[in-house]
Amino acid sequence: MGALRPGDRLEEPALAARFGVSRTPIREALLQLAGAGLIEIGPRRGASVAAIGPRRLVEMFDVMAELEAMCASLAARRASAEEIAAIREAHAACGAATRTSLDAYYYENEVFHERIRTASHHGFLIEQATALQKRLKPYRRLQLRVRGRMDASWAEHARVVDALAAGDAEAAAAAMRDHVVVQGARFTDLIVSMEAEAAP
């Protein structure tokens, strides 16, 4: 993950050789990635990794924040005791990961958010939130490279967990929204990280 940068070309013959398959499954995979918004396919240009501009990125994070806030709100009302325990377990795993590596935290963080989405018990909402989460994966990962962001993220998780455990839908939504949305200094930090990633 992160080996390809926005704008990088994706050549079918090279990909087929790399994965030891014919060009047909490569073409099908590229179409699926294009459908998910992860790559762009243009006439006479072929396929390339999608590049998202700053304004579009903010809009996507705004929508992601609202979708995940809705998931948290519903989870506060609908989650079973077992689901709350599983969310607490994921939060504890995130805490342990802050003492190991960014990659470890990133993957545990995915589990944490997935368990909250599942606890919402709202199929269509889960589908939409998961689809957008996949598009934003590289950018959510970049955020964690900012100094102190991993610890701050874990502290934000704690507020979400407390609200979920209390069954406070409004507080859970607010805590999750604040956790996901990118604005002010956090957005500036993300852009700087993106520029550093794109630098040769």
Same domain, 144 and 74: yes
Residue 2 in domain: no
Lookup: tokens for 19: 């994965």
User: What confidence score (pLDDT) does residue 10 get?
Assistant: 86
In the beta sheet, which residues pair with residue 142? none
Separation of alpha carbons 152 and 183, rounded Å: 15
Give residue-wise pLDDT tens across range 171-197: 999 999 999 987 656 777 777 776 676
Same domain, 45 and 60: no
> Could you list the residue range(s) of the whole structural domain that residue 151 is in?
54-198
Give the pTM: 0.76
Give residue-wise pLDDT tens across range 86-134: 999 999 999 999 999 989 999 999 999 999 999 999 999 999 999 999 8
Q: CATH number, domain at 27?
A: 1.10.10.10
Name residue, tokens 């900012």.
146
- Is 48 strand, coil or helix? strand
- Is 23 strand, coil or helix? helix
Order of all β-strands in the sheet with 9-10 = 9-10, 46-49, 39-42
Residue 3 in domain: no
Lookup: tokens for 41: 């396919």
Same domain, 176 and 95: yes
